Amino acid sequence: MAAKEHISTVQLGIEPERLPRHIAIIMDGNGRWAQARGQPRLAGHRAGAKVVRKIITECSRLRIECLTLYSFSLDNWKRPPEEVAGLMRLYSQYLVGERKTLMDNNVRLVHLGTTDHLPQDVVRELNRSLEVSKDNTGTTLCLALNYSGRDEIVRATRRLAQRVLSGEIFPEQITIQSFSDELDTAGLPDPDLLVRTAGERRISDFLLWQISYAEIFVTDFCWPDFSLQVLHTALKDFASRQRRFGGLKHPHA
């Protein structure tokens, strides 16, 4: 990684308190990146995996509290079987290969989604990474693997419904906070910044509950071309925005 990519928040012109606590990224365009180069789609996923390491390391260095990466959605099972099989092999390899990155950077891994239908070796390596990193106190890396925002909301609703049926709580005791506590992101701040690559302008069933007030940054770069410079541009753009959360900054504006 080029030394010039490593710049401080002062050099970025951002005060630390203006950085997002939680960055969520929809990593799109791996397949298109590869096809544009006459390579198989899986080559794009391999190239994208290398970018993940850079972004995790940089977020840790900048002391970003939480980073969520949308890696594989429930809808992605609809892709060609050979591509899905290749992706699963890549996940297993990645979880082993990046364990050192997690530990060297004091990063705690959290899984968003379910393990249903995931290959046993992927589940095994995922659980190992979750276990070895659980006491790390730096950036929390949420890996949305086999994830769907709608599915997450349904799973949370079922858990609350079961608590009502068992008499543990009454329906009127269900609040925004108690619902949030049943989500895969329980205990984590909601994303402040949502980044989408490859120029797409849709949410794609990602963190539907949590991104209610997230600022959105779209770049035309495909994920394998997502550099630290692009990340820094997104951070500067975020820092320049006035976040009102439904209110007005100036009462008489």
Residue 64 and residue 234: Cα distance in Å, rounded? 13
Judge whether 145 and 91 are in contact, CB under 8 Å. yes
What pLDDT, on a 0 to 100 scale, did the predictor assign at position 253?
A: 39
Task: State pLDDT tens for residues 122-162.
Answer: 999 999 999 999 999 999 999 999 999 999 999 999 999 99
Asked if residue 72 is part of any domain, the answer here is yes
Kindly state whether residue 55 falls inside one of the protein's structural domains: yes
Given a cut of 50, is residue 1 above it in pLDDT? no
Given this model, what pLDDT does residue 12 score? 86
Q: First-to-last CA distance in the chain?
A: 45
Provide the domain limits for residue 94: 18-150+189-240
* Catalytic residue list contains 220: no
In angstroms, what CA-CA distances link 65 with 59, 69, 73? 8, 14, 24
Judged by DSSP in three states, 1 sits in coil
Indicate whether 228 pLDDT > 70: yes
CATH number for the domain spanning 146: value is: 3.40.1180.10
- Report yes or no on 197 lying in a domain: yes
The confidence score (pLDDT) of residue 5 equals 64
- When pLDDT is cut at 50, 70 and 90, the band that residue 3 belongs to is very low
Number of domains in the chain: 1
Structure confidence by residue, pLDDT tens digits, 163-201:
999 999 999 999 999 999 999 999 999 999 999 999 999
Asked, for residue 232, whether it belongs to a domain, the answer is yes
Domain-embedded: residue 63: yes
Complete DSSP assignment for 209-229: TTTTT-EEEE-SS-GGG--HH
The answer to whether 149 and 209 have CB atoms below 8 angstroms apart is: yes
In this prediction, residue 135 carries a pLDDT of: 98
What does the DSSP 8-state code read for residue 16?
G
**CA pair distance 5, 197, nearest whole angstrom:** 19
Q: Residues 76, 121, 225, 237: which is the catalytic one?
A: 76
Report the mean per-residue pLDDT for the chain.
94
pTM comes to 0.93
Catalytic residue among 28, 184, 190, 192: 28
Contact (Cβ atoms closer than 8 angstroms) between residue 112 and residue 68: yes
Residues 74-94 pLDDT 10s: 999 999 999 999 999 999 999
136 counts as catalytic:
no
Whether residue 174 is contained in a domain is answered as no
| Residue 249, domain member (yes or no) | no
Is residue 172 a part of any domain in this protein? Answer: no
- What are the CA-CA distances from residue 56 to residues 23, 103, 128, 234 (Å)? 11, 12, 19, 15
The mean per-residue pLDDT over the stretch 59-73 comes to: 97
114-118 contacts at long range (C-beta below 8 A, 24 or more positions apart)? 114/146, 114/147, 114/151, 114/155, 115/146, 116/146, 117/77, 117/146, 118/88, 118/145, 118/146
pLDDT at 248: 60
